[in-house]
Amino acid sequence: MQELRPITSVAQRRSLMFVIFVMSLIHIFIIGPCFFFVAALHVLAKFVYKHVCCFDFAWSAVIALYKKQVANFEKEHPPQDGQPGSDSSSAEQPEQPATEDAESPQTMPPFMIDDDSQLLSDSSIFASSDIMRNIAAFKAPVDTADLMNTDIYNNSDVLTDVAAIIARNDKGKEKAHALTAIDEETEEDLWLHPTVCERRETEQRAYEALKSKFGRSRASRVPSLQSSATTSVDPLKRIDNILTTSSHRTLTISDESKAEMRNLHQKAEEARLAENRKRQSLEKSMELNAKLFVRNSAILRASKGPREIIPNLPEEWIQKVSDTIGAPEDMVLATTCQGIPLHRRDFVSVVAAKSWLNDEIVNGALAELDKQINLANGVFVSEAFNKKRKSLVLNSFFWPKMMQTGGRDSQRWLRRAGISTSSFLDLDIVLIPICEAYHWTLLALKPRQRTVVHMDSFNRPSSHPQLAIEWMKDLLGDAYTEPWTVDYIMSPHQKNSYDCGVHTITNAMCLALGLDPMTHYSSRQLSLQRLRIAGMFLNGGFEGEFTLWRE
């Protein structure tokens, strides 16, 4: 026999504890719930068995009581011979088996023999003058032209009213009016007086007999007229329906009529197309006139020269800009000219004095600047592949992508803006915002002058101008005939760590307008410039109060 050894190692203890833990989990989450589930099923089975037995016992008692009541009723009301109104010759005939369609007076209950035996046994009741007058009273209005198609005199209503009148006449109301007899309500309780129920069955049988005899009326065969308030139908569609609908042989449309209809159809279609062309031509003319007006107005304003870069802002615009801070987060406050929505978080980055501008604000502001510079030269940015374009802005995602791919996709980016390699040298300025290590700078290319400028609000040297020249060599290829040079333009010095984006936008405005940044703004004005940038977006661009040109 193997001797049991005590567990001394830590690994064995951990293994034992793990096994005990697993067994406990199995007992708690598997074995325990199984026992509980079996016990619950046992209790449920006992409950169901107990109540089912009770229900079966109660149902048996109800059936027995019902049979007892029926037997007592038959003993208290035995069938009697020679009831009033019955035919004496019917007693001599052999008994017929009872059916749903007909019943002999001998097998009917006494209350039916007293009230309705003559109605059911004598088929000549349907030819009586009383019923015929009632039927005529209902059928006469149906045959008139005015009431032919009304809903109240349809076949089913007529038969129902006639059956109701027969039942009332059986009760001694021979003079009841045909239109008011059915509205009279009985005061008898259907549950306390079974005779009423039996009378209803008799009325139903009389109704079925009348329906089989008078079930087809002219009113039921005449289709109802369409309502006068019908929806309007296209005349062209009605002509097509007439041509395609098969006609009766005596009403066949002649070939001449069909040809005339097709001719009318063709003329109507030609008139509609001509109207559409006229409307489209008018819309294009109005759009062109609007563009010419905007273009001429921009050219006229630009001819007066640029205005002050950072002028004062009215109090009403300061209030509008301040209200953007309390706007809902998902609310679209403005949209750039490129269709990019701006929300509260975007305005917070520019309105708050110590916030760093995000990509949407910088890219949107430079896109609005590009739109105004081209418009002043008579060019709409929306007109793709326009060789007259003078300004081009590439967003902040272009330069990192160009550095990553070595300039292989740069031509595709230019084609999106409508610029080809041959027309690139006709541009006055190309603006590229660069965000590197959380710091905004501006790279500007002047293709006409063959110069490159990199503006940093800290005025630090950079390798971006040399990289831009190498990009020009690769982009222009054989068109790169003259050497490009690096131009140095100073920027007002940044005095904090969060105004670099505002410096970038303001420096771009100065370069695009041909102004010297050092003499046209200072770092102390950047708090006001933040409000003006936000107000420009709310205004929908550099228009009105935010125009770039002198008034």
Band (pLDDT 50/70/90 cuts) for residue 406 is confident
Mean pLDDT, the chain, integer: 75
* DSSP SS3 for 248: coil
Residue 60 φ/ψ, nearest 5 degrees: -65, -40
How many C-beta atoms surround the C-beta of residue 487 within 10 A? 14
What Cα–Cα distance (Å) separates residue 310 from each residue in 280, 360, 455?
43, 21, 19
Q: Lowest mean pLDDT of 233-242, 270-279, 464-473, name the range.
A: 233-242
Please report where in the chains the tokens 């567990």 appear, as a residue: 7
Q: Does the pLDDT at position 35 exceed 60? A: yes
What does the domain layout of the chain look like in residue ranges? 107-221, 304-546
3-state helix, strand, coil in the chain (%, to 5): 60, 5, 35
Band (pLDDT 50/70/90 cuts) for residue 46 is confident
Report the distance separating Cα 368 and Cα 501, nearest Å: 16
Of 335, 330, 308, nearest in space to 513 by CA: 308
Task: Please state whether the predicted TM-score (pTM) of the whole model is above 0.85.
Answer: no
Q: Quick: pLDDT tens for 109-153.
A: 444 444 444 444 444 444 444 555 555 454 444 444 444 444 444
CATH of 304-546, one of 3.40.50.300, 3.40.395.10, 3.40.190.10, 3.90.1170.50: 3.40.395.10
How many CA atoms does the CB half-sphere of 419 hold within 13 Å?
Answer: 24
Q: Tell me how far the alpha carbon of residue 209 is from its chain's centroid.
A: 55
Q: Tell me how far the alpha carbon of residue 39 is from its chain's centroid.
A: 52
DSSP one-letter code for 127: G
* DSSP SS3 for 252: coil
Residue length of the chain: 551
Cα of first residue to Cα of last residue in the chain, in angstroms, is: 112
Helices (H), 100-248: 110-121, 129-143, 155-170, 194-214, 218-221, 235-244
Q: Lowest mean pLDDT of 108-122, 241-255, 308-322, name the range.
A: 108-122
